Structures are given as structure tokens and as C-alpha cells.
Amino acid sequence: MQPYKLKGKIIFVTLLVFTFFLCSCGFISRNPIQHEPKEKSGPNWEVPDRPDHNIQRPQEAVDDIIPKQKPTTLSKKTALLVSAVGDIMIHMPQIRAAEVQGGGYDFKSVFEEVKPYIEKADIAIANFETTVGTPERGYSGYPRFSAPHEILEALRFAGFDVLTTANNHCLDWLEFGVENTLNKLDEYGILHTGTARTLEESQRLLIIERNDIKVGILAYTYGTNGMEALIPPDKLSYMVNYFNDFDKIRRDIERIKMEGAEVVIVCMHWGNEYERMPSEEQKDLAQQLANAGADIIFGSHPHVIQPVEIKEVILEGGVSKKVFIAYSLGNFISNQRQRYTDSGVIINVEIVKDHDENTITISNISYIPTWVYKYYHNGKAQYRVLPVEKYINGDGELQGVDEQRIRDVWHEITGLLNNIEVEQ
């Protein structure tokens, strides 16, 4: 009987080993190799769910489960947010309001309440409709603007990345005004386009890369208030970008694309002052720009908000493309107090790139109405750019005519821009 018992023990041990092997294989089957997802680089990046670790698999699949597993292919998308505002104008009352006891200026409080909206953009753009002066030369408002350099410190504080400088006031202080303004922009690390100090600089194109998307920005003006007559012709040929030569704009768009721009933004200083509807010239130029390859057009100069439009153009080969146009973004900051000139808008355009399909699309457009609140503190005028929606329900700070005005601004802007969404 002893040999029989030994044989039984051997069989029992063998069964135990085989059972352990099966259990081990079962553990592997519930934990296959995981392929780490790539870094999330855009809002539309979707990482597939990991396998359910509790799923029981048939035994025959255990032995070859690892060789059969294939890595998941992800569609890579990245997104970029562009925010744009209209005119930055600095009149003398604003300069006096920013004076600091003991010397210097501080404009940062003007932008504190809109800073969160500006700084969240990947690229924030404004039209800088003044020049930067010096204490020795003095400062001035209309009709020849010259502001302290501290305004640039405040705009950088607010989150602006790019200031366009092609506008009708860029030559207010002739060559010095152009050169000193660009020098100070460089010192504060703010990018710029529209004017140039040298011929070589005028030939460089502004391309910004964010989130694997390259954005080219161009800027042009209709004129410079006659000040161009005081600039030597050889300097004028490169100092300011005018749009009277549309062939040059067409070449610039072609060249900026050749240099890598995947999205082309064109900032146009155009239209008629204080008119709330775009002129026929603006519409015609917008069509030409769209046909030439512009993707987004931001307008300034009327000092009031004008409508926006999404225009569909047919490219070579019959391919259609949508172009976003904001004819005028109004005044972001100024001392102008007439109706409609005291308000502006932050336009937000989200751009999405599908890296697998190699396509660029505008996925979302929204806006934030703004109002310039002018008030007095200890007998001294003060200015703040307010996000309108925050104040329309009455929080106690704005009263009387100010409370009524900001409510009117809300209806004026939302009624005009009713074809896009207000950002919540």
C-alpha cells in the first residue's frame, strides 16, 4: 500500500503546481502591458480608458494575450486661444490719473479686473494707438499722442503678448516716436508688428508658436494723419505698413505662410470713426484679404464696436474655408466718453489643430463686453476697464448714471454681436 500512497502524493503535488501555474497566468491576463498615454496637449486630446482589470478571459486566450495586444493609436489635437481687443488710447487725463506721488506712473490698476480674461489667452493682441515718449520730451494726448513707458508695464502685467503699431497715430512724433516705442516694447518683452526702425526689421515677419501651432500676425493702417509728409521718403518706405498697396499685403500673406505660419491673422486699422457699421471699403478689403489667405481679421480705428462676420471663401481646387472678421473691436481704454466710444470687447477665438489630419479649424468664438469706468477718488479722476456682465445686476459699487450706463452697454454690445456667444 505504501507505493500507492507515494504515487498519490506525487499526483497531488503535480496538480498543485499546475493549478498555481494557471492562477499565475490568470493574474497576467488581468494586467496586460499598459501603454502610457502621451502628454495631454489640447482640450480635444482623448485618452482611451484602460482595460478593466476585473474582466475574466477564456483560458485559451491566456498564453498569447501579450503578443496579440496592439498599442492604441490616438488622434493628436492641440488647441490655441487667441484674444484680441481694440484701441489702447492714452489721453492726458489718463496720464494725470496714473501719476504716482514722488514721480513716475502706474497704470496697472486700470486693467486689474480684466487681467484674468487676458492672461488666460495663449496669444493676446491689442492695437497700441499712441507712441511712447520720455520725461524730457514730455507727454501728450490728442492730437499727437505720447505716453509714459509705464503703460507698457501695465499692458504686460495685464497679459498682452502682441501690440500692433500700424495706426494713424504711429507717426505722431515722427521717427523718434516710432523708434522709441519699439525700443520700449522690446525692453518689456512685448512682441509687435506694423512699424519698423530699419528696412531689415520691416522685412521680418511675426510668427508665434504656441501648443504646436504657428500663428502669423500682420498689421496695416489706412494712413498717418498727414505726418508721413514729414518723414524722409526712403524711411517712410519701410517705417509704416500701409494697406494702399494691396499687392504688398498679398505678398506678405504668401511669404508668412512660406515661413511656416499655419494661421494668418491680419490686423487692419480702417473704416470710418464712430460708425457702428462697416463701410463698403472695409467689406471689400475683408473679401480681398480672405481671398488672399487671411484666416482671421481684427479691425480697429472706428472707436466703436462693429459687427463680426464669418465669411466662406472658395480656394483653388474648390476647397472652401471659413474666415472670421471682427470689423472693429471698439475702445479698450481711452478717455472718450460719448455713447459707444466708452466700451469695447475681448474677442476669443479658439484654434484647433488635428496633427494626424494636418488640418486647422476655428472651433469656438466668444466675447466679453468691457466698459471704461471713469470715477473720482479724492478729487482725482481714475479709470478701470470693467467686465460688463459682472456689474449689470447691480452690486452696489456702480450707482445712478454709471449703473444705468453699464446696463445699456450690455444691451448695445450683445445686440450687435448676437451671432456669436457671450463667454460665461
Instruction: Dump pLDDT digits (tens) for 136-188.
Output: 999 999 999 999 999 999 999 999 999 999 999 999 999 999 999 999 999 99
- On whether the pTM is more than 0.75, the answer is yes
Predicted local confidence at residue 19, as pLDDT: 39
User: 392 near 411, Cβ under 8 Å?
Assistant: no
In angstroms, rounded to a whole number, what is the distance separating the alpha carbons of residues 380 and 384? 13
- Asked whether the predicted pLDDT for residue 215 surpasses 80, the reply is yes
**101-130 tens-digit pLDDT:** 999 999 999 999 999 999 999 999 999 999
- DSSP, residue by residue, 156-187: HHHT--EEE--STTTTTTHHHHHHHHHHHHHH
Instruction: pLDDT band for 75, please (50, 70, 90 cuts).
Output: low
CA atoms lying within 13 Å on the CB side of residue 239: 25
First-to-last C-alpha distance (Å) of the chain: 87
Q: Which CATH code fits 77-422?
A: 3.60.21.10
- DSSP, residue by residue, 197-261: SSHHHHT--EEEEETTEEEEEEEEES--TTGGGGS-HHHHHHHB-BSS-HHHHHHHHHHHHHTT-
CATH 3.60.21.10 occupies which residues in the chain?
77-422
